[in-house]
Amino acid sequence: MLNFIEGGVCAAQGFRAAGLHAGVKTHAAWKKDVALIVSDVDCAAAGVFTKNVVKAAPIHVDRAHLQSGIARAIIANSGNANACAPQGEENAERMCAAAAAAIGCPAEDVLVSSTGVIGQTLNVGVIEAAVPELYAALERSAEGSDAAAHAIMTTDTVKKEVAVETTVGGRTVRMGGIAKGSGMIHPNMGTMLCFLTTDCAISPEMIRTALLETVGVSFNRISVDGDTSTNDSCMVLANGLAGNAPITAKGPDYEAFLEAMQALCIALAKKMASDGEGAKHLITCIVSGGTDVQQAEMVAKSVISSTLTKAAVFGADANWGRVLCAMGYSGAQFDPEKVDVRFASAAGEVQVCAKGRGLDFDEDLAKRVLTEHDVEIRIALGQGDAACTCWGCDITYDYIKINGDYRT
């Protein structure tokens, strides 16, 4: 039985977290900017990172540290991406070393992430100075996860924090996550920072397999603005304290674990899409009737990534032609003469297109439907049984305002 619970990254046994203001964000002394997540024992660990050729220094460090499949902690900062910056990898390693010294573990067992402005030297000294206080502030409670979730925020307006509970091998297993992501969000791994913790016993090989399967149906199916960041990272720690028989191969226990991880990450992904920079609407595109999932996914991704479709939703304009246009350049092969399109929300549902042709529809109802915060674009391809859901947001004047002076 899968249930959503409180606690974030501290929901699982043996995990503590903290966040505080160290001074990376010099313009906002009241904002937390460094987070630490620690397990009481060593964890099976895995990570998935950006496909952008330009990668931030922490990603190179994490890839090296994850070679063993073991980790103990994650340290992260906001306010500076440590990407394309002088002494980037050296400073990332210094963050790991500072955390490791406080925890009492090898520096190679610490993972690191950064987010913020690209190309500026990270003031790693303020982070090193803050680590003792950060470690002392670790809490095995929702407050610790809350502080860590706030410490990794940049232009996010709300924290992203979720936890779930399920049964694996007859034992109660918990999993929690925090994430940040508001801009530079596009389906190409999982354009954001996301840290997951679980007390499930699972091998490094199988947790990596589960993470890859999960990212494909969650973070790779969201888009805010079409930009894939240099720092995108999703990392998971599993300490095994739930006491289940270790998962070492696919089977019922693995499927139960995977179900929980996917539910957790889909919830986090939707929070990121909903909190897109300047956004007023969460757009959910549901494509059904596909010949296979790949076809349905290509169509759905193209629609939620379309700037013109985003603008139409912002204006509550049922301009369904933009939906078909985005479908047409998606790269997916389909028969336009079989396509139906509907807009839906809590205000109702209106069909705007049947068999690739426009319908007379109630414009007032369509306006009410598209005025709701959560809007669905329902597309029926009429070619098979495959389906896919992707998530995005509208584009507003505020997006330009936020990004017009992001650095200054």
Q: Is 329 exposed, middle or buried (0-12, 13-18, 19+ CB in 10 A)?
A: exposed
Give buried/exposed letters for 52-62 (b at 16+ CB in 10 A, else e). beebbbbbebb
Asked if residues 165 and 3 have their Cβ atoms less than 8 Å apart, the reply is: yes
The 8-class DSSP code of residue 68 comes to: G
Q: Could you list the active site residues?
A: 191
For the record, the structure tokens of 93 come out as: 């390693």
Angle at 378 between CA 234 and CA 386, to 5 degrees: 70
How far apart, in Å, are the Cα atoms of 304 and each of 286, 299, 363? Answer: 10, 9, 22
The 8-class DSSP code of residue 80 comes to: B
Alpha carbon 86 to chain centroid, angstroms: 28
Asked if residues 19 and 32 have their Cβ atoms less than 8 Å apart, the reply is: yes
d(CA 78, CA 33): 5
Q: Tell which residue, 80, 41, 40, has the closest CA to residue 57.
A: 80
Q: Strand, coil or helix: what is 314?
A: helix
To which H or E segment does residue 212 belong? helix 204-217
Any residues with CB less than 8 A from the CB of 160 and at least 6 apart, and which?
Answer: 149, 178, 179, 180, 181, 268, 271, 272, 275
Taking CB atoms within 8 Å and a gap of at least 24, the contacts of 250-259 are 250/206, 250/209, 253/168, 253/169, 254/202, 254/206, 254/210, 256/166, 256/167, 256/168, 256/173, 257/166, 257/168, 257/173, 257/198, 257/200, 257/202, 257/210, 258/210, 258/213, 258/214, 259/2, 259/166
Asked if residues 148 and 237 have their Cβ atoms less than 8 Å apart, the reply is: no
Asked if residues 380 and 289 have their Cβ atoms less than 8 Å apart, the reply is: yes
Alpha carbon 311 to chain centroid, angstroms: 23
Give buried/exposed letters for 238-261 (b at 16+ CB in 10 A, else e). bbbbbebeebeeeeebbebbbebb
